[in-house]
Amino acid sequence: MDSLITFGIAAAITLFFVVSYLRNLKKRDTRAREAAEKGKLFSDGPRAQHPHIDTNYCIGCATCTTVCPEGDVLAMIAGKAVIVNGHKCIGHSLCADACPVGAITMVMASPSMGADMPFLTPEHETTIPGLFIVGELGGLALIKNAVNQGRDCIDTISLRLGRNPAARATDGVYDVLIVGAGPAGISASLRAIENKLSYITLERDEVGGTVAKYPRQKLVMTSPVEFPMYGKFKKMQLSKENLLAFWDMVLNRADFNVSTGEKVEDIKKGEDSIFTILTVNNGYRARHVILALGRAGEPRKLGVKGEELPKVMYRLIEADHYINKKILVVGGGDSAVEAAMGLAHQAGNQVTLCYRGEHFSRIKERNSKRMEDCMRTGKVKVLLQTNPVEFKASSVILDAKGAQQEIPNDFVWIFAGGIPPNDFLKKVGVGFGQRDVTLEASKEAKQAETSRKQLAQAAAR
């Protein structure tokens, strides 16, 4: 009898765990299918780098689905990880790092997405030998990718120069000229100092690149990265100001050779394989050129009447400078939504957000939730399928499917994206077009590792 009771209790406990496990599995499956349905709205799939899951190796542990800061990029369907919202992936690659069996590798966008990207070898070289592209301009977003690529590209150049020391005897020619002082350009410059290359960095604006233009006190998410002239930078999140202060500290210590306020207008390669780099007032010569221009380029304009008024702006850094104002924000991406919410939280502002789409496209999960709150509490008035048709001194005219309305207005911010510097690249002669951009980041990493080893061996000799 005793053993029958013990058996009964054991069976009940086992049943309890089995039923809860199956319930959880069902819930997870339902969530995954819902996420997949949402993902279908953006059927063009991943725009840039994204995870590739080898289902032969995936053991269905779901770790990858829990680590992504962007939300439901991955989900478990039928016991395997699948991409359900590829458009949300911005390449943190935490899923690949977390996968216990190495079933995930980060890959680049599909060839069709790569059509308006410059062709690059795994060493970041363009179709013009000696001319390299690193950072976001090459298609990979995120600060850590920019830092890694800037550093590794200099290692490749150092290796080539090391093999050919005679090439370095010419006076007045830099080993490398770096264009752009965002994270990619900063990292390349510091590695050039570390590797004792002669270099100069030209920056049209200010040091810090896109980061310097983030809104004040923006929280920057990053990953541990090997930073030249410093070592492992381990912070996962910090304010924009603290990140800029960190770079400033390292750059001052390293005696950074930068010329700011100098926009590169043209680059030509001579018969002698030396590049001539032209800015408005100066000409430089270098054996190698690294373009670290980012993809932000010039802000895209709408071509709307009155857009030239000084009250119409394309970048918001200090939201707290605006109080008691009637504000229109135009756009449907993260920058527009964040700006609208930032402005709405300042005293007395009345913020309207207008967007031509039926729903916000591609915004981060956390922005989507915060925006829903702002709409519910009336902090931001959202007008979808609506376009501005005229900006006037103290009002704006909006059009929603043919119905026009004029609303009072003090300031307008437009976030319609940037025009990447493709025309500049084409002028310089960099090759574009359909290409197989499915080169795994791991292949790139292996290449960089080989370069690093060769460099270390060369230094030891």
Ligand X SMILES: Cc1cc2nc3c(=O)[nH]c(=O)nc-3n(C[C@H](O)[C@H](O)[C@H](O)COP(=O)(O)OP(=O)(O)OC[C@H]3O[C@@H](n4cnc5c(N)ncnc54)[C@H](O)[C@@H]3O)c2cc1C
Taking the least distance from each CB to ligand X, the nearer of 99 and 141 is 141
Residue keyed to tokens 């439901």? 72
> Residue 233 or 391: which CB sits closer to ligand X?
233
The side-by-side arrangement of strands in the sheet containing 411-414 is 312-313, 411-414, 326-330, 350-355, 380-384
| Minimum CB distance to ligand X smaller for 29 or for 205 | 205
What is the C-alpha separation between 275 and 371, in angstroms, rounded?
Answer: 49
Residue from 181, 190, 225, 412 touching ligand X (CB under 6 A): that is 181
Q: Which one, 130 or 294, has the nearer CB to ligand X? A: 294
Examine residue 205 and tell whether it contacts ligand X (CB under 6 A): yes
- To 5 degrees, how large is the angle CA 398–CA 401–CA 406? 20
Using the minimum distance from each CB to ligand X, give the nearer residue, 37 or 266: 266
- Which residues are CB-contacts of 64 (< 8 A; sequence separation ≥ 6)? 51, 53, 74, 81, 95, 96, 98, 99, 104
> What x/- string results for residues 151 through 180 when contact with ligand X is judged by CB under 6 A?
----------------------------xx
The footprint of ligand X on this chain (CB under 6 A) covers a number of residues equal to: 33
Figure out which of the listed residues 104, 143, 304, 441 binds ligand X, where binding follows CB under 6 A: 143
> Shortest gap between Cβ of 215 and ligand X (angstroms)?
7
Near ligand X by CB under 6 A: residue from 130, 183, 331, 333: 183
Residues paired with 130 in a beta bridge: none
Using CB under 6 A, pick the residue from 58, 76, 133, 146 that binds ligand X: 146
Residue 185 binds to ligand X (criterion: CB under 6 A):
yes
SS3 78: coil
From 111-119, 199-207, 383-391, 437-445, give the range in contact with ligand X by CB under 6 A: 199-207
Instruction: Give me the torsion for CA of 303, 308, 314, 317, rounded to 10°.
Output: -170
Q: Which stretch binds ligand X (CB under 6 A): 22-30, 163-171, 183-191, 315-323?
A: 183-191
Cβ at position 232, least distance to ligand X in Å: 16
- Out of 126, 335, 350, 451, the only residue in the binding site for ligand X (CB under 6 A) is 335
Question: Stretches 62-70, 201-209, 321-329, 348-356: which one binds ligand X (CB under 6 A)?
Answer: 201-209
Task: Say how many Å lie between the first and final Cα of the chain, rounded.
Answer: 81
Q: Which one, of 340, 354, 339, lies nearest residue 398 by Cα?
A: 354
Q: Which stretch binds ligand X (CB under 6 A): 58-66, 132-140, 191-199, 396-404?
A: 132-140
Shortest Å, Cβ 454 to ligand X = 25
CB of 425 to ligand X, least distance (A): 10
Closest-CA residue to 28 (of 87, 70, 69, 84): 84
Whose CA is closest to 95, among 75, 68, 114? Answer: 68
Number of neighbours of residue 121 by Cβ within 10 angstroms: 14
Name the segment binding ligand X (CB under 6 A); options: 49-57, 135-143, 162-170, 227-235. Answer: 135-143
Tell me the closest approach of the beta carbon of residue 240 to ligand X, in angstroms: 9
Instruction: Specify the stretch interacting with ligand X by CB under 6 A; choose among 16-24, 44-52, 217-225, 364-372.
Output: 217-225
Q: With the CA atoms of 178, 182, 187 and 193 taken in that order, what torsion angle do they form, in degrees rounded to the nearest 10? A: 50
Q: Is 281 helix (H, G, I), strand (E, B) or coil?
A: coil
Site for ligand X in 412-451 (CB under 6 A): 421
Q: Which position among 83, 99, 107, 141 is part of the footprint of ligand X (CB under 6 A)?
A: 141
Question: Which pairs count as long-range contacts for 429-434, CB under 8 Å and 24+ apart, including other chains?
Answer: 429/127, 429/128, 430/118, 430/119, 430/126, 430/127, 430/128, 430/131, 430/133, 431/118, 431/119, 431/126, 431/127, 432/115, 432/116, 432/117, 432/118, 432/119, 433/115, 433/119, 434/111, 434/112, 434/114, 434/115
Element holding 177 (H helix, E strand): strand 174-179
How distant is the alpha carbon of residue 276 from its chain centre? 30
Q: Does 221 bind ligand X (CB under 6 A)?
A: yes
Is 243 among the residues that bind ligand X (CB under 6 A)? no
Chain residues 245-304 in contact with ligand X, contact rule CB under 6 A:
263-264, 292-294, 296
For residue 28, the minimal CB distance to ligand X (Å) is: 28
> What are the backbone dihedrals phi and psi of residue 440, each rounded to the nearest 5 degrees, phi first?
-65, 145
Amino acid identity for residue 325 in this structure: K
Site of interaction with ligand X (CB under 6 A): 135-137, 141-143, 146, 179-185, 202-205, 209-211, 214, 220-222, 263-264, 292-294, 296, 335, 421
